[in-house]
Amino acid sequence: MHRFTLGALVIGGLAGASVVLLAQTAIKPGHDRVPPYREPSPYMSQADIQAGLNQLDPKLVASRTGGAIDIAKDKAPGVVRRRMKGPQYAITHTRTLEYMIVTKGTATLVTGGTLIPPTIDSDPYPNANPIATIRSDSGVNGGLARRIGPGDVVVNLPGTPHWLSDIDGTIEYFEISVPNVDPAPGIERAEVLRTPPAR
């Protein structure tokens, strides 16, 4: 009985070693597969970003939407936005997830709650973007106000109102928008403003 058990252990050990050896042979380290050539990653230096922001129309920067420059237009979502102290839209993106990463300046950001009517369904100008935005001139009811500054990160989920209610002079932030995300319950897709037909 003892010999049988010892023999079974030896045979089992040899079988296990064979499985390991076969596995090592089948999955040898390294391979010859090389992904196709790709262009280098989009890049903007801090100096390039500041130069781009400085070239923005001051009227646009002082508007309710602020001014923005693209980081990698038509390649990757992401803009750097500069806003000046003054009235700002409170907005809700119905089907967009948005990341805000503050790089310069401070402000009070109100998130959550509900937009104060009347609202504008979509951008206030004809726009080919199928992801609608709802805007309010008046702000937000019942939201949470936070002071934000350099290094802070905010994630605005679809359907969540957000509003820069007070800006200390100027604020700049990197904004990444991920479109076509399922909306929050009760939030329906708003349609973009249609371009008037040509006459």
Contacts of 175 (CB under 8 A, 6+ apart): 68, 78, 79, 80, 81, 98, 99, 100, 101
- Output 52 or 95, whichever has higher pLDDT: 52
Tell me, yes or no, whether 194 lies in a domain.
no
With a pLDDT cut of 90, the percent of the chain lying above it is 52
pLDDT tens readout for residues 167-176: 999 999 999 9
Q: Is the pLDDT of residue 37 over 50?
A: yes
Q: How far apart are CA 189 and CA 142, in angstroms?
A: 23
Domain containing residue 106: 47-178
> pTM to 2 decimals?
0.72
Tell me, yes or no, whether 42 lies in a domain.
no
Q: Roughly how many angstroms between the first and final C-alpha of the chain, as a whole number?
A: 100
- How many angstroms from the chain centroid is the CA of residue 10? 58
Q: How far apart are CA 109 and CA 99, in angstroms?
A: 13
Q: How far apart are CA 66 and CA 60, in angstroms?
A: 6
Tell me, yes or no, whether 30 lies in a domain.
no
Tell me, yes or no, whether 66 lies in a domain.
yes
φ, ψ (nearest 5 deg) of residue 99: -105, 130
Go through 137-166 and write b for each residue having 16 or more CB atoms within 10 A of its CB, e for each that does not. Answer: bebbeebeeeebeeebebebebbbbbbbbe
For residue 146, give the CATH number of its domain.
Answer: 2.60.120.10
Average per-residue pLDDT for the chain: 81
Tell me, yes or no, whether 51 lies in a domain.
yes
Q: How far apart are CA 15 and CA 191, in angstroms?
A: 66
Tell me, yes or no, whether 40 lies in a domain.
no
The number of folded domains in the chain is: 1
Average pLDDT over residues 61-80: 92
Q: Is 98 in contact with 191 (CB distance < 8 Å)?
A: no
pLDDT tens readout for residues 84-114: 999 999 998 878 899 999 999 999 999 999 9
Tell me, yes or no, whether 87 lies in a domain.
yes
Q: Is the pLDDT of residue 8 over 60?
A: no
Tell me, yes or no, whether 140 lies in a domain.
yes
